[in-house]
Structure formats: C-alpha cells, structure tokens
Structure 1
Amino acid sequence: MMTSITALNARRNVARRERDSFKPLLDDVYRYAIPFRKSTRDTGPAEKRVDQVFDHTAIDSAFRFAGKMQQDFWPAGQDNFSIEPGPIVPENQVDALKRELEPISKVCSAFFEDGDWDLAFHEMALDLCAGTGAILMNPSQEPEVLWEPISVPTEELLLESGPNNKIAGIFWDRKMTIQVMMDTWPEGKYPQILKDMQKQKPDTEVEVHVDTIWVGKDRRWNMIVWCDKHDKIIYKTQSRTCPWLTPRYFRVPGETYGRGPAMLAMPTTKTLNTAARLQLQAAAIAMLGIYTAVDDGVFNPDLAEVRPGKFWKVARNGGAMGPSITRFPDPRLDLSNMVLNELRMGVKATMMDQSLPPDGAAVRSATEILERVKRLASDHLGAYGRLVKEVTIPAVKRVIELAYAKGLISQDVAIDQLLVKIRVKSPLAIAREAQRVEKIVQWLQMVIMIMAERSNRVAHVEVALADIGGQLGVPRNYIVTPGERQEMDKQEAAALAAQAALAAGGAPQGAM
C-alpha cells in the first residue's frame, strides 16, 4: 500500500490539533514537575528551566516516581518476564513446548540486559509521570549491538488514535543536521539538493519527520522518513510489530494522550509553588522591610539606597507629626510554614513519593513484610494492566521480531496468550501474585494444622507449594518436578520395603 506525503500531512494535522488542545496541560507539567524533560527543539540548549519554580517537591517526586516505576515494573538486571506455554496447551505437550520456548526466552531477555534499555526506560518513566511515555525500539546493523532503544520526549510526538483506543499513528518531528540524517539512514534515497547541501554545508539543520502508521489492510507498521526540503519519501521500512512503545498511565475517555500523577497533583503543586513564592517575598520583606515615608519634599525614596552605613536625609525623626520614615509591620511566617508542609505531603502522596521503613532494617516482622507487599501492589494497581498491555507485551513482541531478523532465534513466535503467553515476573507482578496466593497458603496451613499427617487426603500440598513457587518467580531448577517427585516416592517405597524385609528376616534370630 503506497502512502503519499499529502496523506501523511492530513493525518498529521488531525493529530496536531488534538496535541495543541492538550498542550496547556503538558506545559504546566514541564514547568513545575519535569522541566528537564522538555525538548530543546524550539528553545535551543542552555534554557532556564526552573526560574519559575520556588519549591522543588514536585520535581523531586517525579524523579522518585520514575525510579520507583522502574524498580517495581522493570528493574535492571532481573528476570522480568518469560515466554511460556499458554493455558490451552494439552498437558502432555507442555514440557516439550516449554523446552522449545526456553532458549527463545533467554535470547529475548538478553536484549533487555543492555544499559541502553535501562536508561531509556527511566527517561520514559519520567514522561509517564506526566501521562504518556515513548520509547523507539530501533534495530541495529552493528554485530556487537542487539538493538538501539531510545527515549523520545512526548513533546516531540504527535499521536493518532486508532481502533479500540489503540495508537495508530506516531509522528515524530525532530531537527538534525544533514550529515546526521544521512548517517542515520545511509540507505535512504536522497535528492540532489540534499546531496549538494551535504557537500557544501553538512552542519545545516533540517526538519526531519519520522512517521509510523498502522496499515490495517496489510496488518503491518510502516515507518516513513521525509523532510521539508524534499516532498518525497527518503526512507521506508515495514514491520509486523510496532517499533514504538507509547504507554499511557491513565486515560480520560475520548483522549489519545494519557494523564499521570503529575497532572493529578498539579492543583496542589501550583498552590505550593505560589505559597513558597509568597513565603520568600514575606522573608524578603522581613529582612529588608517596607517603609512608609511622609511626602514632605525632603526625603526621596528613589534616591535612598538600602545598605548598611547609609544616611538618609529626612525632615524629622519624631515630633508632633511623627517620624518621616516608619517601618511597615512584618508578615507572619509561621502560618505559611504550616500550609507549605501540608501541601508538600499532598504532592508526595499523589505522586507516590511515600515509602515504608528501609528494607535494610535489622528485623522485619511478617506484618511489615505483608504491608510492604500490599503497598507495592496497590501503588500502580489502576495502571498496572495498561502498562503490561502497552509496555511489556509489545516490547517482548518487538524483541522477538528483531531477534528473528538477526538470526538469533529459529522462528518468529506469535504471542497470542493462549498457545504461547508472556508471564510477567516483575516485583509488581510478584506482589500481585503474593496477594492472590495468600489465601491458598492460609488454607494449606489450616489443612495441615487440622489434618496433620492425613492432610494429603484434603490438599495436594506438594503440588500447591510447587505451583506457588513458580507463580512467585522462583527459578524452575529450584522446584522439584513431578517426575522427580515420583522417583523420590519410588525410592522411599523401596527403602520401606527393604526395612520391612530386613525386620521380617531378623525376627527369628531375635527370638533365640
């Protein structure tokens, strides 16, 4: 299916109108919460970012939110997912399919052990604090690099809504030099005008458009690169999976962009910023003072310098008509401090900048551990399903396609969650599983307490504990398999039989 620049511009204009209506909300977030994620595309480098901020609580909480999101959802250096047989696979085929999927899962996990992914995820989590994040997962032609994931500021993107509230178009506007553009897409078809500019002045900046659209007829994603200097397509590629991750934390019905904790806390953040500004003004007044002067033609406030050792010429310092200069009463600061503390606590609570006692405490009770797990599971509970759907599953699908294209795996596995599924093993997923298996553990404890040695007549204790271990992310090589359990039963039965035979054979000698 051919796509023209005219058709792309029409779709871009629709997406731009929605982004322009959403821009005031983003501007507030960039001003008060994540000023260092605002793009330099329009302002250039070395822009003052915090000259309108008088309290850093929201900025600090945004970084803590990003770190907490990464630690809870995709911590570095951990096994955060696995590709496993789905729920409809017959029981006698599960082990064979599991052995087939295990090497594929290991190869895919290797992609995410790169430091580039950790960096991109943290920067994306900062944007997600505002509501919408973005990671571009590019393939790499270098043999020593598996892929090149990069985080893109949401401000540089135009998003188009598609069927079923999914993203159907991602339009990226970026400025780069001609030399960088040709190095980024060396196989592109460049017109003569760009080639001449590259020879004469390669550092000339041009506006480059990277448009990724879903073509429903072909069931493929098309990535198209073009620039304002040329109305033809420079580079085009096609893929089964979307090269972009565009997760949204919360989403208002009818909106394409998401809303995050920073937007939820924005009313309190603005009030806190205003209160902090007024407190600084009050402190300045308390230090320097405000003075009233009698208009007697002698004292001129415009010529009176406020500095130590300076003498002012006045008509009088007392008398029946009062002094010429009097200090205005200072404002009260204690009340503003109380208001500021309450506002800071409100911003931190909304942006999830709250923590339990440190993990490194000497002794932790079972109640404290349970409360820690519950807090972890409930912090992102509302957004967890959307994040799995818009981050974990599409990221693994993309990696499978890239690994197959590089020849690292033998087949392009389709993830349908029925025959082949992705099991999320992040700390947040484990916390949710811990809440689910809590009832099972309590039931097993009750059965064992009541039935004692006859508990196997009510519950499959060994099977249940092995299943719980797998759901909590315990490596499979630490869990006894059913085959190993049967072998143990055989050995125990043989040992009991040998003891019984020995006892039966030794009884007559003992009677003599």
Structure 2
Amino acid sequence: MAPSAPLPTVGTGLGDDDGVAPLLRRYRAAQTRRQRWEGTWRDCYAFALPSRESAVDGAAPGTVRGDRLFDGTAPDAVDQLAASLLAQLTPPWSRWFDLTAGADLTEDERARMAPTLSHAAERLQAQFAASNFAVEVHQAYLDLVTLGTACLAFEEAPPGEPSAFRFAAVPMGDVALDEGPGGHLDTVFRRIRLPLSQVRARWPDAMLPSDLERRAADEPDLDVAVLECVVPDGRGYAHTVLLAGTGGAAALADAGAPLGTPTVLAAGRFGVSPFLCFRWTKAPGEAYGRSPVMKALPDIKTANAVVELVLKNASIAVTGIWQADDDGVLNPAAVRLVPGSIIPKAVGSSGLTPLRAAADFDVSHLVLEDLRRRIRTALLVDRLGPPDGPAMTATEVVHRAADTARVLGASYGRLQSELLAPLVRRGLAILRRRGEVPPVRLDGRLVDLVHAGPLAQQQRMSDAQTTLTWINAVLGLGEAGARVVDAEGAARWLARTLGVPDAALRPVPPQDPAGGPADGP
C-alpha cells in the first residue's frame, strides 16, 4: 500500500522509533476491546452468513460450515439486503455521485468550474468501474449487515494496471478498530500474514533482519505476520508497518502472545485513510456497530430450533417408533422393516405395533411463519426487496420510496458520512497525485459532493415534487402569483436537484457591473 508521502528511513527495532511502544500498547487495548464482540460475531455468522464464518475464527478455507443451520431465512435475507445496499448506494451500472460547485461560489464561478468538476467526476467513476470495487464492496456490505461493522481497504494500484484503484474487503477478524478524536472509526490495526516475497514487493525499501533473510533462503514460502497501523494525528493519518521479530513470526496472531522486538518495515503518512470503516448503527460508548442481524438474532435462533424440531418430528413420522411385547420370540435386533419381511411373534402377543406420537406438531408451522416474517421485517426485505404483489401505481411508488427513506434515513446518513464521502475523497487524492485530475478537494464550500444513487434520487424526487406542487398552486393564483415565480431560477434548481448534467443547460449569461445581463454582440 503506497502512502501519499515519501517513506522515511525504516528501522530494525523498537528503539528506532519512540512511537512504536505506545502504538503497540494501543493495539493491545483495541484488540482486547474487540475480543468482547467475537462471541456475538460468531453467532451472527453461524446463523446468518456461515460462508464467512472463517473471517472470525480463522478456520481453514474449504472447511465444513453451516452444520448448525437448519433454516435459510436469515442467510437469504442477508444476501438480499446486501444486494439492495449495493443497488441503492453504489450501483455499479450507473454514476452514484457527482461533484458540484459549492455554495460559496457565484453563478459565474459555478459555470466556469462545472466542466472541470464534471471531468473529474467522470474520471473517478471510470476508475471505480474498471476496478474490483463492485465485488469487494458487496462483501463489505455482507459484513455490515451481519456484524454491523465493515472495513474496506482502498489502495493505489501499481502503474500499468487497468485501474488506479484496488479494493479489498478486510475480514473483521484481521482488524482491531478504535474511534478517533472526531468519533469516526479511523484508527485501524490490521494483522495479516504474507509470504516474505510479497513483503519485499509491497515495501521494497524495508530492511529485514539478517536471520530472517537466512531462513527465507531455506524456506522460499516462508510466511510472516505484519501489523499495519493507521492512526489519525491531526495532519493526516500516520501509517506504520511492523514485522514480528525473528523466531516469532506468528506472535501477532495472538493478542496475548509476547511481541518481542518488532521491526519497522515502513512509515509514512496518508492525507486520506486507506481503510474505510463504516457501521450500520451504534450504541453510545461503543466503537463497533450493531447490525440488523443482531436485532433479529433471537428470532433467527428460535426459527432455527423450530425447524430442527420439525425435521426430527418428520423423521419420526416417516420411520415411526415401534413397541413390542417381550414374548421370548420377537428379537428386536433381528427385525428389518422392509417390504416382504416376516416378523415372528408368540401366540397371544400383539407383536410389533407403532407408538402414537405424543402430540400434533402442525402448530409449528404457524410459529415458524411468524418468526420468518419478523426476520424478513428486521432485515428490511419487505422494504427494500421487490414487491410481491402486482405492479404498483405511481402513487404507491412514491409512498414506498418515502417509507424506504424513512426507515433507512439514519443508517443511510451514517453510510454517507463513513463510506461514500471518504471513498470519493480517497479516490480524488489518488488521481490528484497521479496528475489525472486537477487539485479538487471536497470541502463543502468550493467543491461539494452530491450523492446520486437511487436512494438519494428518491429523496430529491420528493423535494422536486414539493416544489412543483408549490409552483402549480402559485400559478393558479393568477398574474400576481406568477410574478412571484422566477421561472429560470426554478428550472435551474430543478436541474441541480434531479441531477441533470450541466451540458444540457444553457450557460448563465454574464452580468454587467450594474447587475443586469450584459448586452450580446
């Protein structure tokens, strides 16, 4: 991961950098806080996303998963909610953001900046489309829905790659997070195991210990543990890469293991954090987020237990439970219940008779349907998924969109702040450093970010509908009401609200010093 500033000279021990010891203490504290969540995370993965279970417990790839799962309602709902988030927030087939001039600029300045900002947005969108963003952010959405917290690594790709961006959904078992001074989840410690060849490729200036170099000569596939630390420091984000000492390459794998003397592989600074950590919702005093799966976990576990009981009852109903008199003739061990079999019995004995079930189990279906409905409601399947009924009218579409915005308002606002805005800011920083876009900085005053995803468009459609209703009502008042409406200003506002490209609008005529439009040639 290439930092945005040149790397200083790397060291080979704890004494080379006085900031390493406090950094390790902070990592230990963050790791300890994360361990309190691991039990809940395992339950969420086991019952709602068993394919990602190894992200927490570190199981080997390809191991059997989902052996505790009997009901598939929750995994299906998690997949649908993650897919809906991808389609509503960052659809890969359309532009989900735009760059506009800020509120501090005049109309003339906005008109002059519009082509530059439009070009920068197009370049940024093209880089997102050419990268693996859609694949990795969908994996991050799965973690977000299941665990309430997700982490997406946003790296700069080497020159010559199809895209300047490279993404990776970071498993929550590999990171320990903490909130920074601003309340954002921007203090990140990522523990990864890499072959020594990849360590040399990622940090070519790193000075490795001599005994580790000798081991690598004998073991070409030697893996080592690396700890990446990204901590906000007021001027950006300090980036430090540590390697565990020789003879303890796996020391970072256990929070309680001694670290020994770590080697500083690299140190630098990012203007924008390369790790995007975002949450669904959070409780006061907690750094990690809480998910819809956590809210529905009691119902998910109950539905799973009910289905298990239904399957056991079905097994009994199919195979039956049998009883027999101890008549000295019938040997239960020799009985085979197959067509054409002859079962001997003594004279006067009732022989082999079925044992009637204790109760009727049909009530389980009523309980199960109610549990599944509550699970789907908690995971917003009925709000974000496709409607089950016939085609909706225009009024029903508007009401459904308003209901969706109301339900997702808080979570969507958090995702705008913790995912979408940092994502665009980080992408602009990489392209600006490569010289592909002008020095555009999102500050909200000169350059502003406009969210253009389907969910944001639904809210803007509601705002536009309110304005059009007012205009129609005012125009119905006659000439006096019509004089109140600035038709051109209203048209330009509607264009900005609905995301109409600037190329479709006529440029604003320049103003003369007296305040009126300048005369044409």
Q: TM-score higher than 0.5 here?
A: yes
1:356 is displaced (CA, Å) by: 8.0
**Which structure features the higher share of helix residues?**
1
**Offset from partner CA, 1:248-301 (integer Å, 9 cap, x none):** 010011111111111111111111111111111111111011233445666565
Counterpart of 2:298? 267
1:163 is aligned to 2:181: yes
Aligned residues: 482
In the alignment, the residues of structure 2 paired with residue 176 and residue 331 of structure 1 have an alpha-carbon distance, to the nearest angstrom, of 58
Change (3 A) 1:331 1:195: farther
After superposition, residues 23-102 of structure 1 pair within 5 angstroms as 23-39=38-54, 42-102=58-118
Kept in 1, the 8 Å contact 2:128–2:165? The answer is no
Q: Please state whether the residue corresponding to 2:60 is helix, strand or coil.
A: coil
Partner of 1:352: 380
Counterpart among 457, 464, 474 of residue 483 in structure 2: 457
For each residue in 1:227-267, what CA deviation from the matched residue of structure 2 results, as whole angstroms up to 9, or x when unmatched?
A: 34361112233211110111101001111111111111111
Residue 313 of structure 2 is matched in structure 1 by 282
- CA distance in 1 between counterparts of 2:25 and 2:160 reads 39
**Further displaced range: 168-177 or 272-281:** 168-177
Q: Which has the higher contact order (CA 8 A, sep 6+)?
A: 2
**1:11 paired to 2:26:** yes
Q: Report the alpha carbon displacement of residue 65 of structure 1 after superposing the two structures with TM.
A: 0.7
- Of the three residues 463, 470, 485, the one matched with 2:496 is 470
Residue 405 of structure 1, CA deviation = 1.8
| Structural mapping, 1:43-442, within 5 Å | 43-130=59-146, 131-144=148-161, 145-216=163-234, 218-227=235-244, 228-229=248-249, 231-294=262-325, 301=332, 304-305=335-336, 307-312=338-343, 314-315=345-346, 323=351, 325-329=353-357, 331-354=359-382, 365-411=393-439, 413-442=440-469
Contact 2:330–2:351 (Cα < 8 Å) also in 1: no
What is the RMSD computed on CA atoms of the aligned residues? 3.0
- Percent identity between the aligned chains? 25
Runs of 4+ in structure 1 over 6 Å off: 359-363
Asked if the contact 1:132–1:248 (Cα under 8 Å) also holds between the matched residues in 2, the reply is yes
The one-letter amino acid of 1:420's match is V
Q: Distance in 2 between matches of 1:384 and 1:200?
A: 52
CA drift of 1:210 comes to 2.0
Q: Supply the distance in 1 between the matched residues of 2:223 and 2:344 (Cα, whole angstroms).
A: 61
Tell me what 2:516 maps to. none
Classify the secondary structure of the residue corresponding to 1:136.
Answer: strand
How many Å separate the matches in 2 of 1:299 and 1:455? 100
How far the C-alpha of 1:311 sits from its partner, in A, is: 4.8
> Structure 1 stretches of 5 or more lacking a match?
485-493, 495-512
The CA deviation string for residues 109-149 of structure 1, in whole angstroms up to 9 with x for no partner, is 22222240111111111011020111101112223330211
Q: Do 2:151 and 2:170's aligned partners in 1 also have CA atoms closer than 8 Å? A: yes
Contact 1:38 1:155 in 2 (8 A): no
TM-superposed deviation, 1:106: 2.6
Change (3 A) 1:450 1:42: same
Whole-angstrom distance in 1 between the partners of 2:306 and 2:239: 50
How has the CA–CA distance of structure 1 residues 361 and 344 changed in structure 2, closer, same or farther, with 3 Å as cutoff?
closer
Q: CA deviation at 1:64?
A: 0.7
Distance 1:296 1:182, change over 3 A: farther
State the secondary structure of the residue aligned to 1:82.
strand
Asked if the contact 1:178/1:204 (under 8 Å) is kept, the reply is yes
